[in-house]
Amino acid sequence: MARMIPQLTAEQIKAFPSRAEARFYEACSTQLPSELVVIYSANWIYRDVRGYLSEGEADFTIVSPHAGVLVVEVKGGGVTFDAATGAWHSVDRNGTNNPIKDPFKQASRERHALLDQITGAASWRQWGGTRLTLGHAVMMPDIGSPAPLLGPDRPIELIGVNEDISNLAHWVQRLMQFWRRPDDDALGTKGVRVVEDILCRSIEVRPILRSTIDAVEQQRIKLTANQAKVFRVIGSRRRAIVAGGAGTGKTVLAVERARNLAESGKRVLLLCYNRPLADSLAIALQDQSAILVKSFHQLCDYRIRQAIQNGRDLLKEAIEAYPGTEQQYRFDVQMPYALALSADALEEKFDAIIVDEAQDFSDDYWLGVEMVLRDTTDGYLYIFIDENQALYPRRSKLPIEDEPYYLTNNCRNTVPIHNAAYCYYEGSPIDPPELLGHDVIWSSADKAEGQADAVLRRVHQWVHVEGIKPSDVTILVAKRPKNQQYDLLRKKATAEDITLEFEVMGKGPSVLVDTVARFKGLESQAVVLWLGDEVVEEQHWETVYVGTTRAKTLLAVVASPSAIRTLRDSCK
């Protein structure tokens, strides 16, 4: 019995979208010898001959220690080929024709892409061989004879049909012999391990963004297959954009990439927009002296102060170049320009820059960011982005033109929280998590005082009745003006025997109260989200999306009755 990756149950095999692929999987599992490794649906990303990034996927990759690697494209049903037009069609049981790609060209492209992926990996040098046997084939288990398909680029050796799937070991052996050249080296057990490591190695990374309860835990978290693939790909590229919805692990990957680069001797700058997120990341990475963690404006201030020590006032120069007295103008124009000036004023530069929350960076920010790279052309630059979390009115053209790599699995929230939050998400589809959980709690009250009571009653229930630690609970306010709501909570907290801490994380056994905007990028085991009518009436759905996705396990939403109705109706 061959070793199958992934190892699937009978129920999972029955759920295959293609019955032909299910038959081939079962045949590989039961008929091929145990020393063979069969990888189902291997994915990779590569740069083609024109320099464009492309994503490849092989239906089946068979790895043999005695020979090499085979890529097998599996097509179910019947097929037709029009030699005059070069068009291929699949034929289903009802005789309906559907256009398909040329399966033989598809398999050939997969073989060449796979060769680039394997030989381009740094670990491939561990094999020690000179030439690898690598071939491709097409299996059509619903066809009785290969004769109608034969052609110059379709020799009989490359075609599998119904009788071959019943004698699969012989068919695979015949394929290996067809592709093997006299000077090819056997892959060997070591080579099999290297190929497996390149294509489907499991990846574990250290936790970096938990709520206070999780901050001290040293357990490791296993990434989803999608995250692992993206992590492998960006690991081999100097510049990349990674996009994904809330909870898909962008910050986890950003921090782990920073660790990897620092451990390889690089000086790394890890940037984000929000100060609370930067403070949290700085604590998590305090053991990494080669990593500087700053929010964008922290970085500006840090470089400005360094330059003053060297006798140069960069902020004064920026104000002279761009006069203006508004505070926001200073943050959006003058400080970013001072950062750009610091590239000439200071010797400190960075080998790698990693930017989280990049959706909140403007064009004026990117100039200074790129200029503090030691090598502005070939330095490491990784950008992590979720357009749906853009709470600030900025849009910029990212300094990397390649298409993003997408994270597609929510690994933070429970299913009910995911469903409540992703009503307000627009973008590439995000798969829901596998973690079931409690339903979202919806509480309504007409006036602000009644809503404050509802917020604190829920916190009291969680902390004093259900035994949740206060540090595991966060109250997020999205109701203007925030100071008025803070005052209401402060006055009423004593009656519920609750200690609150406002906008300061990790300060004793207290419940944190903060705004959605400030808490963006962070997460908490339990969240009470207090929404104002203006959020719903003005359709600030990104605020609802960000606020709800901060909750990992428990979520309660408090608002006016009309706002609650609108929110719940919008998710039906």
Per-residue pLDDT of the chain (572 residues; tens, 9 = 90+): 889 988 888 888 888 878 889 999 999 999 999 999 999 887 655 555 555 555 667 889 999 998 899 999 998 888 888 877 888 888 877 777 888 888 898 888 888 888 887 887 778 888 888 888 999 999 998 888 888 888 888 899 999 999 999 899 999 999 999 999 999 999 998 999 888 888 876 555 544 333 333 332 333 344 455 566 677 777 778 999 999 898 888 998 899 899 999 999 999 999 999 999 999 999 999 999 999 999 999 999 999 999 999 999 999 999 999 998 898 899 999 999 999 999 999 999 999 999 999 988 988 999 999 999 999 988 999 999 987 755 545 556 889 988 888 888 888 888 899 999 998 888 778 888 877 778 999 999 999 999 999 999 999 988 888 888 899 999 999 999 999 999 999 999 998 899 999 999 877 789 999 999 999 989 998 999 999 999 988 888 999 999 999 998 899 999 999 999 999 888 77
pLDDT of the residue at 202: 59
Closest of 112, 108, 133 to residue 191, by C-alpha:
133
pLDDT of the residue at 489: 97
pLDDT of the residue at 45: 56
Q: Locate tokens 């609150």: which residue?
A: 500
pLDDT of the residue at 153: 84
**Domains along the sequence of the chain with CATH:** 3-200 (no CATH), 204-411 (3.40.50.300), 441-570 (3.40.50.300)
Q: Hey, is 88 helix, strand or coil?
A: strand
Closest of 129, 105, 106 to residue 119, by C-alpha:
129
> Taking a C-beta distance cutoff of 8 angstroms, is the pair 531, 557 a contact?
yes
Q: Locate 201 and state its tokens.
A: 């190695």
Q: Which helix (H) or strand (E) holds 299?
A: helix 296-309
Contacts with 27 (C-beta within 8 Å, 6 or more apart), sequence order: 165, 166, 168
Q: Locate 356 and state its tokens.
A: 């989280």
pLDDT of the residue at 517: 92
pLDDT of the residue at 220: 30
The DSSP result for 439-478, as a single string, is: PPEEEE-SSHHHHHHHHHHHHHIIIIIS---GGGEEEEEE
Burial call 401-426: b when 16+ CB within 10 Å, e when fewer: eeebbbbbbbbbbbebbbebbbbbbe
Q: Locate 534 and state its tokens.
A: 């203006």
Q: Hey, is 510 helix, strand or coil?
A: coil
Q: Which residues is 45 bridged to in the sheet?
A: 55
pLDDT of the residue at 170: 94
Cα gap 431→135, rounded to integer Å: 34
Rg (CA), the chain: 28
